[in-house]
Homo-oligomer: A and B are copies of this chain.
Amino acid sequence: MSETLDVIKNRRSCRNFKQQTLPEELVDQVIEAGTWAPTGRGAQSPVIVYVTNSYVKRKLREMNAKILGKEDFDPFFGAPVILIVLADKNVPTYVYDGSLVMGNMMLAAEDLGLASCWIHRAKEEFDSEEGKILLKAIGIDNMNLEGIGHLALGYANVPAPEPAERKKDYVYYSED
């Protein structure tokens, strides 16, 4: 099996991260992988926000936990780095585009020995006034961006779980 197929098959979502900070050159490679995702008509509708700032991480945790309906809960599972993907909703393919950025980053992370997990509720977060103020504080002026997802990124604190079985009716065939 080739290395890439191996990475695709072995990637698991991680829900328990070490507090250890990450080498910047690894995170840079993860982010770069995200920027190479294909986008509808090459419009590059997404942006990636690299977050290690303690205040911003705390705000994200609070907003996300509130949407989830759980207080005193860290929806990012202690990850030292949060990568937020947002995409410009004026571009018809923006949700698909942003998702592919997330996908590339998850695979690059696995390939580099990092663990990750897609954390949802980014849409609700950045649709809110509080979320928009946070974006402005980060230096993002485009108010047409919709939250696509957060990637919690770090070193895994626990071994990767066994994968769940793939469902029986995943694939259909229409052959000659």
Chain A residues with a Cβ under 8 A of chain B? 2-5, 7-9, 11, 13, 29, 31-33, 35-38, 40, 42, 44, 46-54, 56, 92-93, 95-96, 99-100, 102-104, 106-108, 110-112, 118, 120, 138-140, 148-149, 163-164, 166-167, 169-176
Contact = CB atoms under 8 A, between A and B. Distances in A.
Nearest to A24: B175
A7 B175 CA distance: 29
Given A103-B99, A108-B4, A111-B2, A170 B9 contact: no
Contacts of A120: 40, 92-93, 96
A127 to B, nearest CB: 15
Chain A at the B interface: SS class: mixed
B50 A38 contact: no
8 smallest beta-carbon distances between A and B, as pairs: A99-B99, A103-B103, A4-B111, A3-B3, A53-B174, A100-B103, A49-B172, A51-B174
Contact of A148 (B96, B149, B173): B96
A130 to B, nearest CB: 15
Given A48-B171, A96-B99, A38 B118 contact: yes
Nearest to A46: B170
A110 B33 CA distance: 15
A47 B106 CA distance: 21
